[in-house]
Amino acid sequence: MFQYDKNTICKVLESLELVFYQSMPDSLKKFTPEYRGIVTVQYCEDELGNIKLVARPETENEDLPTTTDQSSTRSVQFVLENHLY
C-alpha cells in the first residue's frame, strides 16, 4: 500500500473489490472510502540497484523510462481510495 497524495491511498487491485465499487448502491457510498480510479504502477531496478516506481492512470500507454534491462520491468494495478475522515 502506498500513499498517493495527502488524502489518497494506493493499494493492490482486487477484482472483487473493484466490482463492489462499481456496483455499490448510493446508500452505502457515505460509509465507504471514495473510489478514485485505477493506476498501473510499473517498477524496475536501475543500473545502480535502485527500485524505480512510475504510476500512470489506467488509460495511459506511455513507456517506462529507459533502464538497462527492460525485461525486469513489471506492472501492478492499484486502486485509489480517499481516506480523508
pLDDT surpassing 80 at residue 50: yes
pLDDT surpassing 70 at residue 43: yes
- pLDDT-derived band at 75, boundaries 50, 70, 90: low
Q: Which three cell numbers stand for residue 21?
A: 465499487
The residues, any chain, with a CB within 8 Å of residue 49's CB and separated by 6 or more, are none
| Gyration radius from the chain CA atoms | 15
Return the DSSP state at 32. S
